Amino acid sequence: MFQELLIVLALILANGFFSGAEMAIVASRRGRLRALAEQGDRKAQAALDLASNPDRFLPTVQIGITLVGTLAAAYGGDRLVSEFTVWIADHAPPAVAAVARPIALTVFVMLLSFVTLLLGELVPKRLALRKAEAFARLAAPAMQLFAWIARPLAWGMSAATSAVLFLLGTSKHSEPSVSVDDIEHLLQAGRAEGVLEAVEQSVASEALRLGDRTVRDIMRPRIDVDALDIETPQGEILGAIAMAGYSRLPVYEGSLDHIIGYVSIKDVLRSTWMGWPIELRKILHRAIFVPETMPLNRLLELFQKERNQLAIVLDEYGGTEGLVTLEDVLEELVGEIHDEHRQAEAQAFVKRADGSWLVEGSAGIEDLVKQLDIKVEPLPRDYSTISGLVLAELERIPAAGDVVSWRGLRIEVVDMDGRRIDKLLVNRT
């Protein structure tokens, strides 16, 4: 009987090996396995191959688990239950001996289930989660060998599964196995366990959502764009650049809708220092033109490709809509960047003592939602600023004192700068 117990225990441990291997290879970080494989680690390469081919790997694991479990139950049920029945019949009272077989079967099923769950499922999977890459490297060679041996059976099971799914009218699963929400949950778990700092989690989360925002959401509107006329007299160029306060300034010919490039303050200062005449056409840099609907992730790629940090935003008619810089994109990832020249600028959101907010008209809708912590899904795309929201609701040029209601907020126009909304007062209703 002791020999039979050892065989059943060995089969249960084999079941645990398959379960742990499945969990480890699925949960292992492919980036780390890929790095080890590039260093010549064959076991890591084997684990990476298995993880990259789940249609072949997962059926193999299930075949192994099913075979081992069936053998353990069949062998134990045949040998151990019979011997345990004889032992009960020899040592128990006559009343108990009469039902020795049911008792032996019940005890065997309970013990087999407990040990199988403990050593064949829970413990191996817990170890696999704690040391996923190490377990995956350990199990990968054996799993590859078993996959090769069981290939005909795995192919048959895969074909039968596809046939059943076809009969059920279920199309092939085409959605990605990992979503952005899944990655954000991992980032939150990493922050909770101390693997990531708060700023790292925040930047990574914003980077994942970068493609959801467009250039229109962050651009500096046309009315706020400082630019130089190509015909500006030489004596006024340096002063105009100094008053604008930016290191790069667009240059236009005729009107702002015909921007021909931009000039860098470094080139102007170099010419001034060397005593050369400041000829704007000779120091112009080629401008990048982008549509207002371009996603921010593509804009960032364009900045990297063109080795540029400034782009002119065009509307649907080809006119100049605004301007966007690399700094504007980076602020979407890390938050507002205030240098020594921008510290004196008014804050976009100022909370007052009565709980209301004094808000800049040019502040973004998304910033308003975040600042006041309200739920708005999805965000409107017809406008990107609070001024645009007020204009859309009123359907006319507002005047000081006009009020609109939106998503539980009362928005009052406090100050106008000509026809432009300057200040707004926002209250919760």
Domains of the chain with CATH codes: 2-167 (no CATH), 180-208 (no CATH), 214-334 (3.10.580.10), 349-428 (3.30.465.10)
Residue 175 confidence class, pLDDT cut points 50, 70, 90: low
- Residue 110 in this model has a pLDDT that exceeds 70: yes
Cα–Cα distance, 170 to 255 (Å, whole number): 59
Counting every residue written for the chain, the total comes to: 429
* Predicted pLDDT of residue 173: 54
Question: Is residue 423 a contact partner of residue 402, using CB atoms and an 8 Å limit?
Answer: no
- Residue 345 in this model has a pLDDT that exceeds 50: no
Average pLDDT in the 406-422 region? Answer: 88
Cα–Cα distance, 359 to 368 (Å, whole number): 9
Cα–Cα distance, 198 to 192 (Å, whole number): 9
Average pLDDT in the 237-247 region? Answer: 84
The torsion defined by the Cα of 345, 350, 353 and 354, in degrees rounded to 10, comes to 140
Average pLDDT in the 356-366 region? Answer: 86
* Predicted pLDDT of residue 260: 92
Higher pLDDT, 383 or 214: 214
* Predicted pLDDT of residue 343: 45
Residue 207 confidence class, pLDDT cut points 50, 70, 90: confident
Average pLDDT in the 211-216 region? Answer: 86
Cα–Cα distance, 310 to 328 (Å, whole number): 10
- Residue 156 in this model has a pLDDT that exceeds 50: yes
Average pLDDT in the 350-365 region? Answer: 87
Q: How many CB atoms lie within 10 A of CB 144?
A: 17
pLDDT (tens digit, 9 = 90+) per residue, 2-15? 676 787 788 888 88
- Residue 344 in this model has a pLDDT that exceeds 50: no
Q: What phi, psi does 295 have (nearest 5°)?
A: -65, 150
**Which positions ≥6 away from 409 have C-beta within 8 Å?**
372, 374, 426, 427, 428, 429
Cα–Cα distance, 230 to 237 (Å, whole number): 10
Lowest mean pLDDT among 61-75, 241-255, 294-308: 61-75
Q: How many CB atoms lie within 10 A of CB 199?
A: 10
Lowest mean pLDDT among 34-43, 178-187, 283-292, 316-325: 178-187
Cα–Cα distance, 252 to 232 (Å, whole number): 10
Cα–Cα distance, 207 to 204 (Å, whole number): 5
Mean pLDDT rounded to a whole number for the chain: 82
pLDDT (tens digit, 9 = 90+) per residue, 127-136? 888 888 888 8
Lowest mean pLDDT among 284-298, 339-353, 365-379, 415-429: 339-353
pLDDT (tens digit, 9 = 90+) per residue, 281-312? 888 999 899 999 899 999 999 999 998 889 99
* Predicted pLDDT of residue 177: 54
Residue 346 confidence class, pLDDT cut points 50, 70, 90: very low
Helical axes 2-27 vs 54-75, angle rounded to 10°: 160
* Predicted pLDDT of residue 411: 92
Cα–Cα distance, 225 to 320 (Å, whole number): 10
- Residue 246 in this model has a pLDDT that exceeds 70: yes
Whether this model's pTM surpasses 0.85: no
**Which positions ≥6 away from 334 have C-beta within 8 Å?**
199, 202, 203, 206
**Which positions ≥6 away from 180 have C-beta within 8 Å?**
208, 209
